[in-house]
Amino acid sequence: MRHLTDADVSGVVGLGGTLLGSSNRCNPRKFHPSTGANHHDHVSSLLPPDAPIDVTDRCLATLRAHRVDTLVVVGGDGTMTIAEDFAKQGVRVIGVPKTIDNDLPCTDLTFGFLTAVATATDALDRVHTTGKSHHRAMVVETMGRNAGWLALFAGVASGADVILLPEIPFSLESVCATVAERQRSRKGYSILAVAEGAKPVGGMQTVARFDPASPDPVRLGGIGALLGKQIEDRTGVETRITVLGHIQRGGAPIAADRVLATQFGAHAVQLLEAGAASRLVVWREGRVSDVALADAAGKQRLVPLDDHLIAAAREIGTSFGD
């Protein structure tokens, strides 16, 4: 708990991250005491995880002890699912969408997404240089477990030749054919934007490791390296791989995200002043509004196969590996 004053938040619009701190491992419904309670304790992090327990009652007691009657919860699909649990316990909750994955239902945009797109686009732009100079295939792995919005937007913005999304299983033969065709042409190089959750037709997502103490224990990663080797082996085209990882999650927000976050925050306060509860602030059809929090909890917004941006990319010759 920390009491925030005007001075604490002055200038915060230009900062990334959070003043209060956060965790994606401490779901109150599935809490692992040895890993979640003492995150500064290096010894506890080496112990095997305990069986998860439900500590919602402790959270509610903390809110009562500090006389907190309302939570303004900022986050993505996992956060809103937990927020809905608190709402069912009688806590007044207002949700504000923030995730670089842009995968929260009911809203067209979440703040953080456009900044991550700008970062990924810049990285993709930069690999054009070495790709073109050395006639290589350049594979850039972005974040995106189940929803490929980040790879889609950054791929289109950077003019990627191949964009691979979790929603569209890819054919290795199709990807290699695109690379080989470009190699034979005057273009002579290829740029591939690949979401970490992309998978081949009939195959599985590439798993980097398992974290049994996490509410979501599967950690994806490695599809870029795997695909790069397969492309090089099959086509003979020299291939280089770049994994953006957490570079996409940091840094100062771009102007569009600052404006969006300000609008979201202002609307959240208006909902509080109006006595609303269990509402989620959203951006729909070019303006801020709100929906029932339950409409978004426990769900993900995936890229629809008929999305207009996919159609536009196909029109200019972008391959989705299908």
The 10s digit of each residue's pLDDT in 187-198 is 899 999 999 999
- Percentage of the chain surpassing pLDDT 70? 94
Q: Show me where the domains of the chain are located.
A: 6-111+252-295, 114-250+304-315
Helix (H) or strand (E) holding 182: helix 172-184
| pLDDT(44) > 50 | no
Is residue 101 part of the annotated active site? The answer reads yes
Task: Point out the catalytic residue in the list 6, 41, 85, 101.
Answer: 101
Structure confidence by residue, pLDDT tens digits, 63-73 = 999 999 999 99
Range with the lowest mean pLDDT among 20-24, 106-110, 316-320?
20-24
Per-residue pLDDT, 40: 47
Per-residue pLDDT, 215: 63
Per-residue pLDDT, 41: 47
Per-residue pLDDT, 182: 94
Contact by Cβ (8 Å): 195, 143: yes
Q: One fold for both 6-111+252-295 and 114-250+304-315? A: yes
Mean predicted confidence (pLDDT) in 104-129: 96
Range with the lowest mean pLDDT among 26-30, 251-255, 312-316?
26-30
Neighbours of 64 (CB within 10 A): 10
Per-residue pLDDT, 16: 87
Mean predicted confidence (pLDDT) in 98-112: 95
Q: Which CATH architecture has domain 114-250+304-315?
A: 3-Layer(aba) Sandwich (3.40)
Per-residue pLDDT, 124: 97
Dihedral (CA of 50, 23, 225, 182) sign: positive
CA distance 44 to 265: 37
Residue that the structure tokens 């951006």 belong to? 283
| pLDDT(76) > 70 | yes
Per-residue pLDDT, 158: 96
Range with the lowest mean pLDDT among 42-56, 114-128, 229-243?
42-56
Contact by Cβ (8 Å): 291, 135: no
Mean predicted confidence (pLDDT) in 279-303: 95
Per-residue pLDDT, 37: 47
Per-residue pLDDT, 17: 84
Per-residue pLDDT, 208: 78
**Cα-based torsion angle of the residue sequence 206, 208, 214, 217 in order, rounded to the nearest 10 degrees:** 40
Helix axes 172-184, 223-235, angle to 10 degrees: 60
How far apart, in Å, are the Cα atoms of 58 and each of 33, 55, 61, 64, 67? 13, 5, 5, 10, 14
Per-residue pLDDT, 43: 44
Per-residue pLDDT, 34: 67
Range with the lowest mean pLDDT among 118-127, 136-145, 202-211, 281-290?
202-211
Q: Which CATH architecture has domain 6-111+252-295?
A: 3-Layer(aba) Sandwich (3.40)
| pLDDT(143) > 80 | yes
How many residues are there in the chain?
Answer: 322
Q: In the structure, what pLDDT confidence band is assigned to residue 227 with cuts at 50, 70 and 90?
A: very high
> Edge-to-edge, what's the strand order for the sheet holding 287-292?
70-75, 92-97, 279-284, 287-292
